[in-house]
Chain A
Amino acid sequence: MIQVKNYYLSFGKKKILNDINYQFQAGITAIVGPSGSGKSSFVLSLNRLTDLYSNTRYSGEILFEDNNILIQKKNLGKIRHAIGTVFQKPTPFPVSIYKNLELSLIELGTVEKKNYLEKIKEVLKKVSLWEDVQDNLHKSALKLSGGQQQKLCIARTLLLNPKILILDEPCSSLDPISTLQIEELLIQIAKLTPVIIVTHNLKQAKRIAEHLIVFGIHEGVGSIIEKGRSEEVFLAPKHHFTKTYLEYEAF
């Protein structure tokens, strides 16, 4: 599992995250908090996708399988496969549905080409997309609806056999039905693979998460305000800010 110790992050001169400490656990962990509190920056840090931003600077430790990934120079690709990420905006690639999934298998490099179709069918069934797309595998993925696109993005990440799955507000642009389907899916996945989900939707966090992290902003810098088992935080928040946030957002 991932353990974060004294993690600080800044983009150039702008401080983003302040002294983050957290030990992730099995099951679903939800991260909530106001916009701009650094939730996305935090989850993207867990596999160093923040390196893509300009002038990223960080200190502290992020331990994954006993390695501090912050000082790792090689094999970041392997880490990004092991810690899979799905983003807020569904980004199916502008090629066919089949090709979208095939790309993952090509990069993974451990599946024989003749087994591709079987693998792709299996994962599409898992994300309950097979029924919808089985006749259109070679049509452009851009033709899919928002919910289907996001399921495809999850499928493409699952094909890489991640040991941890991160989702950054995966349902924020989806309708309620797709949202519920994705929640179902995450509960299934979380039985085997720890899931970390950033969400704006407190009800969603309540429905699916075992663990909760509440982010806040202090003088423009994000930090963890409160953390713990989800039902405990929802029932009896310790921090004043959490209380108001939970009450306010519950509307």
Chain B
Amino acid sequence: MNIKKNLIVLISFPILILFFMMISNIILEGHAGLSWNYFVTEASHAGRSGGIAPIIVSTTIIVILTLLISTPFSFCSALILTLVISKNRYLLSLFEISLTLLSGLPSVVFGLFGSAFFGKTLGFGYSLISGALTLSCMVLPFYTKILHDNFKILPREYFLSGKALDLSLYQFAKNILIPLNLYAIAAGAIFSISRALGETAALIFTSGYVDRYPHSLLDSGRTLSIHIYDLALNIPGGDQAALKASFVFLLLSLTINFILSVVLKNTLLRGLQ
């Protein structure tokens, strides 16, 4: 008992230390020279100086677009899996395995696919919409899996009652599936947002890395993660700016998580009353 307990502490200790080292590094070095100006001006000298206003705009647009695209598509895929494909056990396991494999695919593969399909075939080029569509493809398998796994464990009586009353698919989804699966949808949404926020490889070939304001959804734009990646890897003397952007990233992700948890808590609690 004691040995096991000590072992757990021993293993978790280095992880904790590593975590605090990273966070403290970002906080200590990143917040230096941070001012209001940084948030409202454009970058200059390839990001070594100036601000990140356009980057925050592009990031927000891509994250929101990804959420808006991936949620309905994942919901519908999960619905089809549950209502139609599950009638054939072999087909269902085929789909389930594909979902698992797809969600493990490296994001750069989605980047290449997105650049070929959304960029070239559909003609969206380097644009926010290309990037968001690519990210949606990337999160779709896992998002679908989360929802499908939750639909599967619903009592069969809900589906039977829906059929017995001959409810339309729309009424069934709206009044039964969505209210019963708010937690799963929230989990999927948070997963989408965090993947979209943190992604670089899938975006470099699709939404690009232009650091000015995007003029439309068909214009290219740079997300915060790409900004950090670019500063840290490609720009000589960009280290300090990268830490500064990382600090903002931390703030942004904390803010989004905070807002989401407040919104979800309120809607979920209201829904269950």
Residue ranges of A at the interface with B (Cβ–Cβ < 8 Å): 44, 47, 49, 52, 54-55, 76-78, 80-81, 84-85, 87-89, 91, 93-95, 99, 103-104, 106-107, 139-140, 142-143, 153, 156-157, 160
Contact = CB atoms under 8 A, between A and B. Distances in A.
Contact of B272 (A93, A103, A104, A142): A142
Contacts of B167: 103, 107
Nearest to A153: B161
Contacts of B166: 76-78, 80-81, 107
B30 to A, nearest CB: 44
**Interface of B (DSSP majority class):** helix
Interface in B150-206: 155-161, 163-168, 171, 175-176, 179-180
B88 interface: yes
B86 interface: yes
Interface residues of B, number: 25
Nearest to B159: A52
B165 A156 contact: yes
A104 B176 CA distance: 14
B89 interface: yes
A140 B272 contact: yes
15 contacts: A49-B163, A52-B156, A54-B87, A55-B88, A85-B161, A87-B157, A87-B160, A87-B161, A88-B157, A93-B179, A94-B179, A103-B175, A139-B273, A140-B272, A156-B165
Interface of B: 86-89, 155-161, 163-168, 171, 175-176, 179-180, 271-273
A55 B167 CA distance: 23
A237 B171 CA distance: 47
